[in-house]
Chains A and B, each alone.
Chain A
């Protein structure tokens, strides 16, 4: 329903957004924007209807049986190198291990009505794993002109001190037991970072949910458009945690004795906290009563839990914000 709502909102709001005085100058661009939005909306609607008709997870299968092709490669990286990966379609699972090697196990998957077509599509998609100057680069790319619909699912083990730069379009990403920087940019698909102590986490996602589970880091920045964001773990005393989503919810689950300063804002959602907060902003009152002893409240709050320390910046346009004890 979000998509259909988006169609209506886009159309309804795009048209009156054109000021009369600007029509001459921007007329063409505005028309194109509206046209583009309507095209996208129509496509999205078609997709939604098709998905509903065939049921979830049946898109590729509808084109025939599955064919796959395995790929394995191991390269030496060292203990503190960097892994860069781009994947258009397919899941990515990365696990930090002891050792100095990057082990890549990938499966190319496609669906086709006949085996020859499937094999052609699979062979037209190459997987490159290249090590150079402490950086391992992994990418999969169609090599014969127009791309075919082949997804590549990766299972990768890396030295635990490897920093990660990941870019995915469609597919889930899971990162486990990594202790260096993590930068991740994703369109669709859920993202999970767990049991890790990275020095820094930066995640940008459009429509997937983001979950940081037992991820201890001093610098966490997560942005999403429609996904939920969940952080479960310890807050470093000098840490900064910026979690922002447009229409998703934001949840922080941390130790009951945690000390932090929080700035939380939502336009149409609710802000609630298990922690008693001493308010420091210009809002009403001087304390924020834990949710089990008082009503939720909307709008912005700035407050301090216990002695302060970690900084939480939590924002959602229309979702709820919840700070809870684990």
Chain B
């Protein structure tokens, strides 16, 4: 096997979640490969740094400011789309500059969510280890509390985006609104099922992954919907066409 094949497992190696047989193989390779040693060092530092991050909630006024910025932006003429090599679909749909305030806020939320996710994984992993040694109820309770806290942070970010979609959702055409609503319901179902599984088994990795995958899906869908609402709300023929086509006018 070459380094490329090992790379995929270095994260698990650092997290200590590899199976014993696999751990021995990776361990042997890392011991002789400077490149993989460097990656392991980087991952270890990142992981350690992430654990020291304090959960932080965006203040309520952030969203007020975002809404105000959006309103100001709505009233200003479109000032161009400067990236002709956009790679993300939402840039195509929304225009990067037009959504700078929201994207900045969303990026902040994603950083928050990412840190929360890492903290959650770490807590759950510790709980898993504890389970194999002592399996105390106290440890499980502590893990559950950490999981709930992490989920609350994520849900709060989602809730803030929901406020925007609820306030401005009338700008969407009814068919599109129904599609969005139906898919949000599908995601909510996934979130509910994952929560239920985690409640009975807090350290279950499949349930954790499923919950965060679903939360991420919901966050992304809401974020995209907010962008789409802004587009619809403008009702500006030329501006809409420019934004949708990503033209640099």
Contact surface of A with B, Cβ cutoff 8 Å: 2-3, 5-7, 9-10, 12-14, 17, 19, 22, 26, 29-30, 32-33, 36-37, 39-41, 43-44, 47, 60, 84, 86, 88-89, 126, 128, 130, 132-133, 135, 137, 139-149, 151, 165-167, 169-170, 183, 185, 187-188, 204, 206-207, 223, 225-226, 238, 240, 244, 246-247, 265-267, 280-282, 300, 302, 311, 315, 317-318
A32 to B196, CA, bound (A): 20
What chain B residues lie within 8 Å of A140 (beta carbons)? 244
B36 interface hit (Cβ, 8 Å): no
- Is A37 a contact partner of B188 (Cβ separation < 8 A)? yes
- Is A246 a contact partner of B210 (Cβ separation < 8 A)? yes
Query: Which of B43-51, B106-114, B117-125, B153-161 lines the interface with chain A?
Result: B153-161
A117 to B174, CA, bound (A): 16
A9 to B231, CA, bound (A): 33
- Closest residue of B by beta carbon distance from A33: B159
A207 to B218, CA, bound (A): 12
- Is A7 a contact partner of B194 (Cβ separation < 8 A)? no
Pick the contact of A9: B90, B192, B213, B232 (CB < 8 A): B192
B203 interface hit (Cβ, 8 Å): no
A contact face: mostly helix, strand, loop, or mixed = mixed
Given known pairs A3-B182, A40-B188, A225-B190, the reply for A130 and B247 (CB within 8 Å) is yes
What chain B residues lie within 8 Å of A247 (beta carbons)? 189-190, 193
Contact surface of B with A, Cβ cutoff 8 Å: 4-5, 8, 19-22, 84-90, 92-93, 145, 148-149, 151-152, 155-156, 158-160, 162-163, 166, 171-176, 178-197, 204-207, 209-210, 213-214, 217, 221, 231-232, 235, 237, 240-241, 244-247
A26 to B182, CA, bound (A): 26
26 contacts between A and B (CB under 8 A): A3-B182, A3-B185, A3-B189, A5-B189, A9-B192, A10-B185, A17-B148, A19-B148, A22-B152, A29-B160, A39-B166, A40-B184, A40-B185, A86-B93, A126-B237, A130-B246, A133-B85, A141-B231, A183-B89, A225-B187, A225-B214, A226-B189, A246-B190, A246-B193, A267-B210, A317-B194
